[in-house]
Structure 1
């Protein structure tokens, strides 16, 4: 385990149980969000590798988002 994470866990261990539980839930939620993002990025990279990419226009994107 990375030293910084070990230090953080040691600090959390000194907190009351309720605080530990809340921090644990938040950490797991954050990890799950990162995992889903990684999956989406990998999916996009595979799509590009398979030649399924399309031309991207930043101007069109901005227009779509500001409508």
Structure 2
């Protein structure tokens, strides 16, 4: 375990149980989100490596995404 994490856990242990529980839940959710993002990145890289990528027209993508956000 890295020193920063050891310090954070030590500091966390000084807090009331309810705060420890809340911070722990938030940390777990953050770690799970990072794991999910890394898995999606791995899948994307595998897809590109398998030749499944497509050319992207960034201007067209921006137009499509902005079409639903027209200011009036």
Q: State the TM-score bracket (shorter-chain normalisation).
A: over 0.9
TM-score, normalization by structure 1: 0.97
Count of residues in correspondence between the two structures = 67
Q: Aligned equivalents of 2:32 and 2:64: distance in 1?
A: 29
User: Do residues 8 (structure 1) and 5 (structure 2) align?
Assistant: no
Q: TM-score, normalised by structure 2?
A: 0.91
Runs of 5+ consecutive residues of structure 2 not aligned to the other structure? 68-72
Higher helix share: 1
- Aligned-pair CA distance for 1:58: 1.0
Structure 1: any 5+ residue segments left out of the alignment? none
Aligned residues: CA RMSD = 0.5
Query: Which has the higher Rg, Structure 1 or Structure 2?
Result: 2
Flag the structure with more relative contact order, 1 or 2, with Cα contacts below 8 A and sequence separation at least 6: 1
